[in-house]
Amino acid sequence: MIPLSSADAEATGVADEALVEVQADEQRDALVAALADALGDALVESHVEPGVDVWVRVVAESWVDAGRALRDRCGMAYFDFLSAIDWMPSPYGRDMDAQVDLPVDDGAADVATPAGGYETGLAGGQTRFQLLARLHDPVGHVGITVKADLAGDAPVVGSWTPVYPGADWHEREAWEMFGITFRDHPNQVHLYLPSHFEGNPLRKDYPLLARRVKPWPGIVDVELMPGQEEDDAGDDGSEGDES
Protein backbone atom coordinates (compact mmCIF):
# COMPACT_ATOMS: atom_id res chain seq x y z
CA MET A 1 0.00 0.00 0.00
CA ILE A 2 1.34 3.40 -0.93
CA PRO A 3 1.45 5.75 2.06
CA LEU A 4 -1.04 8.29 0.85
CA SER A 5 -2.94 9.68 3.79
CA SER A 6 -2.40 13.28 4.71
CA ALA A 7 0.26 13.97 7.29
CA ASP A 8 -1.68 16.97 8.54
CA ALA A 9 -4.21 15.08 10.66
CA GLU A 10 -3.99 16.29 14.24
CA ALA A 11 -3.59 13.87 17.11
CA THR A 12 -6.82 14.98 18.83
CA GLY A 13 -8.89 14.55 15.69
CA VAL A 14 -7.63 11.00 15.29
CA ALA A 15 -8.58 10.13 18.86
CA ASP A 16 -12.12 11.46 18.34
CA GLU A 17 -12.54 9.44 15.19
CA ALA A 18 -11.42 6.27 16.93
CA LEU A 19 -14.04 6.84 19.61
CA VAL A 20 -16.80 7.25 17.05
CA GLU A 21 -15.65 4.18 15.16
CA VAL A 22 -15.96 1.86 18.12
CA GLN A 23 -19.50 3.09 18.78
CA ALA A 24 -20.65 2.81 15.17
CA ASP A 25 -19.12 -0.62 14.91
CA GLU A 26 -21.36 -1.97 17.71
CA GLN A 27 -24.35 -0.49 15.98
CA ARG A 28 -23.53 -2.23 12.69
CA ASP A 29 -22.72 -5.55 14.39
CA ALA A 30 -26.08 -5.41 16.16
CA LEU A 31 -27.73 -4.73 12.81
CA VAL A 32 -26.16 -7.81 11.23
CA ALA A 33 -27.09 -9.89 14.28
CA ALA A 34 -30.72 -8.76 14.10
CA LEU A 35 -30.86 -9.61 10.40
CA ALA A 36 -29.25 -13.01 10.99
CA ASP A 37 -31.86 -13.67 13.66
CA ALA A 38 -34.66 -12.81 11.25
CA LEU A 39 -33.36 -14.66 8.20
CA GLY A 40 -31.41 -17.60 9.62
CA ASP A 41 -29.50 -19.50 6.94
CA ALA A 42 -30.69 -17.14 4.21
CA LEU A 43 -28.04 -14.65 5.33
CA VAL A 44 -24.97 -15.99 3.55
CA GLU A 45 -22.23 -13.57 4.39
CA SER A 46 -21.66 -10.19 5.97
CA HIS A 47 -18.86 -7.71 6.01
CA VAL A 48 -18.54 -4.84 8.48
CA GLU A 49 -16.02 -2.11 7.90
CA PRO A 50 -15.83 -0.57 11.37
CA GLY A 51 -17.09 2.97 11.46
CA VAL A 52 -17.65 3.07 7.71
CA ASP A 53 -20.20 0.71 6.25
CA VAL A 54 -21.77 -2.74 6.28
CA TRP A 55 -22.49 -5.23 3.50
CA VAL A 56 -24.67 -8.36 3.71
CA ARG A 57 -25.40 -11.05 1.16
CA VAL A 58 -28.62 -13.06 1.20
CA VAL A 59 -29.87 -15.91 -0.97
CA ALA A 60 -31.99 -14.79 -3.91
CA GLU A 61 -35.03 -16.77 -2.70
CA SER A 62 -35.11 -14.67 0.47
CA TRP A 63 -34.58 -11.35 -1.28
CA VAL A 64 -38.08 -10.04 -0.53
CA ASP A 65 -38.02 -11.42 3.02
CA ALA A 66 -34.70 -9.69 3.60
CA GLY A 67 -36.17 -6.36 2.51
CA ARG A 68 -39.17 -6.84 4.76
CA ALA A 69 -37.05 -7.89 7.74
CA LEU A 70 -34.77 -4.89 7.29
CA ARG A 71 -37.72 -2.53 7.13
CA ASP A 72 -39.74 -3.97 9.98
CA ARG A 73 -37.09 -5.25 12.37
CA CYS A 74 -34.00 -3.14 11.69
CA GLY A 75 -35.56 0.30 11.18
CA MET A 76 -34.43 0.58 7.55
CA ALA A 77 -37.37 2.73 6.53
CA TYR A 78 -35.51 4.62 3.85
CA PHE A 79 -35.15 3.11 0.39
CA ASP A 80 -31.97 4.42 -1.20
CA PHE A 81 -31.43 2.56 -4.49
CA LEU A 82 -31.50 -0.83 -6.17
CA SER A 83 -29.19 -1.91 -8.95
CA ALA A 84 -26.95 -4.78 -10.01
CA ILE A 85 -23.36 -5.66 -10.82
CA ASP A 86 -22.16 -7.82 -13.70
CA TRP A 87 -19.07 -9.62 -12.43
CA MET A 88 -18.11 -11.14 -15.77
CA PRO A 89 -14.94 -9.42 -16.98
CA SER A 90 -15.57 -7.56 -20.20
CA PRO A 91 -14.63 -9.69 -23.23
CA TYR A 92 -13.47 -6.52 -24.98
CA GLY A 93 -10.58 -5.81 -22.65
CA ARG A 94 -10.58 -2.79 -20.42
CA ASP A 95 -7.07 -1.51 -20.23
CA MET A 96 -6.88 2.20 -20.88
CA ASP A 97 -3.48 1.72 -22.48
CA ALA A 98 -5.04 -0.26 -25.30
CA GLN A 99 -5.58 1.86 -28.34
CA VAL A 100 -8.26 -0.48 -29.60
CA ASP A 101 -10.60 -2.83 -27.83
CA LEU A 102 -9.62 -6.38 -28.63
CA PRO A 103 -11.59 -9.46 -27.65
CA VAL A 104 -9.49 -11.61 -25.33
CA ASP A 105 -7.84 -14.66 -26.93
CA ASP A 106 -9.53 -17.47 -25.05
CA GLY A 107 -13.00 -16.49 -26.24
CA ALA A 108 -16.00 -15.00 -24.53
CA ALA A 109 -17.49 -18.36 -23.58
CA ASP A 110 -14.57 -19.18 -21.30
CA VAL A 111 -14.70 -15.78 -19.70
CA ALA A 112 -18.38 -16.21 -19.01
CA THR A 113 -17.85 -19.35 -16.92
CA PRO A 114 -14.41 -19.26 -15.35
CA ALA A 115 -13.36 -22.38 -13.49
CA GLY A 116 -12.46 -20.61 -10.27
CA GLY A 117 -15.67 -18.59 -10.09
CA TYR A 118 -15.97 -14.87 -10.50
CA GLU A 119 -13.79 -12.40 -8.74
CA THR A 120 -16.35 -10.53 -6.70
CA GLY A 121 -16.37 -7.80 -4.11
CA LEU A 122 -17.20 -7.37 -0.45
CA ALA A 123 -19.46 -9.99 1.16
CA GLY A 124 -18.47 -12.41 -1.60
CA GLY A 125 -20.46 -13.94 -4.42
CA GLN A 126 -20.48 -16.88 -6.84
CA THR A 127 -22.59 -15.89 -9.80
CA ARG A 128 -22.21 -13.50 -12.69
CA PHE A 129 -25.06 -11.20 -11.72
CA GLN A 130 -25.35 -9.77 -8.27
CA LEU A 131 -28.26 -7.71 -7.08
CA LEU A 132 -27.31 -4.66 -5.09
CA ALA A 133 -29.56 -2.53 -2.92
CA ARG A 134 -28.99 0.17 -0.38
CA LEU A 135 -31.22 0.99 2.58
CA HIS A 136 -30.90 3.60 5.26
CA ASP A 137 -32.11 4.07 8.81
CA PRO A 138 -33.06 7.75 9.05
CA VAL A 139 -33.22 7.60 12.86
CA GLY A 140 -30.12 5.58 13.72
CA HIS A 141 -28.21 7.16 10.81
CA VAL A 142 -26.74 3.95 9.48
CA GLY A 143 -26.93 2.51 5.98
CA ILE A 144 -26.66 -1.06 4.72
CA THR A 145 -25.83 -2.56 1.34
CA VAL A 146 -27.71 -5.76 0.57
CA LYS A 147 -26.55 -8.15 -2.14
CA ALA A 148 -27.91 -11.34 -3.60
CA ASP A 149 -26.41 -13.80 -6.07
CA LEU A 150 -28.60 -14.41 -9.10
CA ALA A 151 -28.22 -17.67 -10.96
CA GLY A 152 -28.21 -18.02 -14.73
CA ASP A 153 -27.98 -15.72 -17.70
CA ALA A 154 -31.56 -14.41 -17.48
CA PRO A 155 -32.09 -14.27 -13.73
CA VAL A 156 -35.44 -13.93 -12.01
CA VAL A 157 -35.92 -12.57 -8.52
CA GLY A 158 -38.82 -11.34 -6.38
CA SER A 159 -39.81 -7.70 -6.58
CA TRP A 160 -39.37 -5.30 -3.69
CA THR A 161 -42.26 -3.09 -4.78
CA PRO A 162 -44.68 -4.46 -2.15
CA VAL A 163 -42.14 -3.60 0.56
CA TYR A 164 -40.65 -0.40 -0.83
CA PRO A 165 -42.84 1.23 -3.50
CA GLY A 166 -39.84 3.34 -4.52
CA ALA A 167 -38.16 0.20 -5.90
CA ASP A 168 -40.51 0.32 -8.90
CA TRP A 169 -38.40 2.45 -11.23
CA HIS A 170 -35.12 1.04 -9.96
CA GLU A 171 -36.29 -2.46 -10.88
CA ARG A 172 -37.39 -1.27 -14.30
CA GLU A 173 -33.93 0.19 -14.80
CA ALA A 174 -32.21 -3.00 -13.63
CA TRP A 175 -34.49 -5.00 -15.94
CA GLU A 176 -33.57 -3.06 -19.07
CA MET A 177 -29.91 -2.48 -18.19
CA PHE A 178 -29.03 -5.96 -16.87
CA GLY A 179 -31.86 -8.21 -18.04
CA ILE A 180 -32.95 -9.15 -14.53
CA THR A 181 -36.64 -9.99 -14.32
CA PHE A 182 -38.53 -9.05 -11.16
CA ARG A 183 -41.38 -11.39 -10.32
CA ASP A 184 -44.68 -9.65 -9.50
CA HIS A 185 -43.45 -6.29 -10.69
CA PRO A 186 -46.55 -4.21 -11.58
CA ASN A 187 -45.18 -2.61 -14.72
CA GLN A 188 -42.07 -4.27 -16.11
CA VAL A 189 -41.45 -2.05 -19.16
CA HIS A 190 -38.58 0.07 -20.42
CA LEU A 191 -37.75 3.13 -18.37
CA TYR A 192 -35.07 5.02 -20.28
CA LEU A 193 -34.68 3.12 -23.51
CA PRO A 194 -37.14 3.02 -26.38
CA SER A 195 -39.56 0.11 -26.19
CA HIS A 196 -38.07 -1.65 -29.22
CA PHE A 197 -34.54 -1.58 -27.82
CA GLU A 198 -32.70 -4.90 -27.78
CA GLY A 199 -29.89 -5.83 -25.45
CA ASN A 200 -28.92 -4.89 -21.92
CA PRO A 201 -26.46 -2.01 -22.08
CA LEU A 202 -24.88 -2.31 -18.64
CA ARG A 203 -23.92 -5.95 -19.14
CA LYS A 204 -20.20 -6.22 -19.61
CA ASP A 205 -20.57 -8.08 -22.92
CA TYR A 206 -22.62 -5.23 -24.41
CA PRO A 207 -20.12 -3.27 -26.52
CA LEU A 208 -19.77 0.46 -26.11
CA LEU A 209 -19.91 1.44 -29.77
CA ALA A 210 -18.01 4.69 -29.34
CA ARG A 211 -15.06 2.68 -28.06
CA ARG A 212 -15.33 0.10 -30.86
CA VAL A 213 -15.11 2.51 -33.76
CA LYS A 214 -12.47 4.90 -32.42
CA PRO A 215 -9.51 4.42 -30.09
CA TRP A 216 -9.94 6.26 -26.85
CA PRO A 217 -7.45 9.14 -26.71
CA GLY A 218 -7.69 9.56 -22.94
CA ILE A 219 -4.35 8.07 -22.01
CA VAL A 220 -2.51 10.19 -24.56
CA ASP A 221 -3.91 13.34 -23.00
CA VAL A 222 -2.12 12.91 -19.67
CA GLU A 223 0.13 15.93 -19.54
CA LEU A 224 3.65 15.74 -18.22
CA MET A 225 4.32 17.40 -14.92
CA PRO A 226 6.92 20.20 -15.03
CA GLY A 227 10.34 18.61 -15.05
CA GLN A 228 8.92 15.19 -15.98
CA GLU A 229 10.84 13.12 -18.51
CA GLU A 230 9.11 11.96 -21.67
CA ASP A 231 10.06 8.33 -20.90
CA ASP A 232 7.81 8.23 -17.84
CA ALA A 233 4.71 9.26 -19.76
CA GLY A 234 3.60 5.73 -20.46
CA ASP A 235 4.16 4.29 -16.99
CA ASP A 236 1.24 2.67 -15.27
CA GLY A 237 1.60 4.61 -12.05
CA SER A 238 2.72 1.58 -10.06
CA GLU A 239 5.92 3.31 -9.05
CA GLY A 240 4.04 6.49 -8.31
CA ASP A 241 5.32 10.02 -8.62
CA GLU A 242 6.42 11.14 -5.23
CA SER A 243 7.79 14.51 -6.34
Partner 1 sequence: MTALDDTRQLAYIAGQASDARVNVELETEGMTLNIGPQHPATHGTLRVIVKLDGERVVAAEPVMGYMHRGYEKLSEVRTYPQVTTLVNRIDWLGSFANEVPFILAAERLMEVEAPPRAQWIRTALFELSRIANVVLFLGDMGVQLGAVTPVFFAFRDREFVLNQIEAVTGGRFHPNFDRIGGLKDDLPKGWVDETKGVLGRIRTFCDEMEDLVTGNEIFQARTRGIGVIPADVGLSYGLSGANIRASGVDWDLRRDGGVGLVHDQLDWKVWTHPDGDSFARYWVRLQEVREACDMVEQALDGIPSGPVMAKVPRIIKVPAGEAYVETENPLGVMGYYVVSKGDLVPYRVKIRSASFNNISITPWLLEGTYVPDVISILASLYFILGDIDR
Using CB under 8 A, which of 34, 59, 77, 112 touches partner 1? Answer: 77
**How far apart are CB 234 and partner 1 at their closest, in Å?**
10
- Which C-beta is closer to partner 1: that of 183 or that of 212? 212
Size of interface with partner 1, in residues (CB under 8 A): 60
Give the rounded distance of the alpha carbon of 228 from its chain centre.
37
Angle (deg, nearest 10), helices 11-39 and 63-73: 120
Taking contact as CB under 8 A, which single stretch among the options 25-33, 58-66, 94-102, 148-156 is the one that binds partner 1? 94-102
Using CB under 8 A, which of 50, 114, 121, 124 touches partner 1? Answer: 121
As beta bridge partners, residue 162 has none
As beta bridge partners, residue 57 has 45, 147
- Which C-beta is closer to partner 1: that of 114 or that of 121? 121
**How far apart are CB 111 and partner 1 at their closest, in Å?**
14
**How far apart are CB 147 and partner 1 at their closest, in Å?**
10
DSSP 3-state of 236 = coil
Other C-beta atoms lying within 10 Å of the C-beta of residue 142: 19
CA distances from 99 to 106, 130, 233 (A): 20, 30, 15
As beta bridge partners, residue 147 has 57, 132
* Gap between the Cα atoms of 37 and 230, Å rounded: 60
179-238: contacts with partner 1 (CB under 8 A): 190-194, 201-202, 208, 211, 216, 218-219, 222, 225, 228, 235-238
Using CB under 8 A, which of 79, 118, 129, 175 touches partner 1? Answer: 79
Does 98 help bind partner 1 (rule: CB under 8 A)?
no
Closest alpha carbon to 203 in 134, 122, 108: 108
In this structure, are residues 131 and 44 in contact, taking their beta carbons and an 8 Å threshold? Answer: no
* Gap between the Cα atoms of 136 and 120, Å rounded: 24
Does 4 help bind partner 1 (rule: CB under 8 A)?
yes
Does 83 help bind partner 1 (rule: CB under 8 A)?
yes
* Residue 61 DSSP class: G
Does 68 help bind partner 1 (rule: CB under 8 A)?
no
In this structure, are residues 73 and 38 in contact, taking their beta carbons and an 8 Å threshold? Answer: yes
Does 50 help bind partner 1 (rule: CB under 8 A)?
no
Which positions lie near partner 1, rule CB under 8 A? Answer: 1-2, 4-6, 8-9, 20, 52-53, 55, 77-81, 83, 85-86, 90, 94-96, 119, 121-122, 132, 134, 138, 141, 143, 145, 164-166, 168-169, 177, 190-194, 201-202, 208, 211, 216, 218-219, 222, 225, 228, 235-238, 240-242
